[in-house]
Amino acid sequence: MYDVVLLVEQELSEPDAKRVVELHQDMPEPVLYHVLVPCHNAEAGVEASISALGTADLYGPGLAGQREDLAEAQKAIDSEAKGCSGRSVQRLRDLGYQAEGGISHDRPIDALVATVQASRGQEVIILTRPHIVAEFFHLDWTNSARRHLGVPVLHLLEHDPQEAAAG
């Protein structure tokens, strides 16, 4: 079995799924894709934003009253991420490949490293939208993954569904 870990920013589109499996169509052994979707932590994001603004003293106690709202927001975020993972896995399966998926609340690179280790991944594909500034300073997921992993890492840019429909 050849294990490929896919770190995706959003749901795999049909063209992106086809592009991914085309990379492995001539593999002599079966391929298993492990789809990983990072999931935003709503509470940590709000707390980080408040701290960054230097207003934690003003809003800190008020944040405690918002915990229920944040928990509901987190449920919605988790549900969307699980749906994204599930639909991405199904697209790969519809193309005749084995796939499994999940979400993570960890930092994306930490989750990627853990998934590669757990699955004994032999290759990583990172599928994102263009992030010009992060890529310029080598702070993007791909460069981070290359620093942390000893496997080939390929970065693909997602197809823009609106451009595909127009073209």
Give the model confidence (pLDDT) of 51-83 as tens digits.
Answer: 444 544 555 555 555 667 777 777 888 888 899
Is the pLDDT higher at 67 or at 125?
125
pLDDT at 1: 94
Q: pLDDT band at 145, cuts 50/70/90?
A: confident
pLDDT at 100: 95
Mean pLDDT of the 91-100 span:
96
pLDDT at 117: 93
- Residue 49 in this model has a pLDDT that exceeds 50: no
DSSP letter string, the chain = -EEEEEEESSPPPHHHHHHHHHTTTT-SS-EEEEEEEE---HHHHHHHHHHHTT-HHHHHHHHHHTHHHHHHHHHHHHHHHHHHHHHHHHHHHHTT-EEEEEEE-S-HHHHHHHHHHHHT-SEEEEEE---HHHHHTT-SHHHHHHHH-SS-EEEEEPP-HHHHHH-
Is the pLDDT higher at 130 or at 21?
21
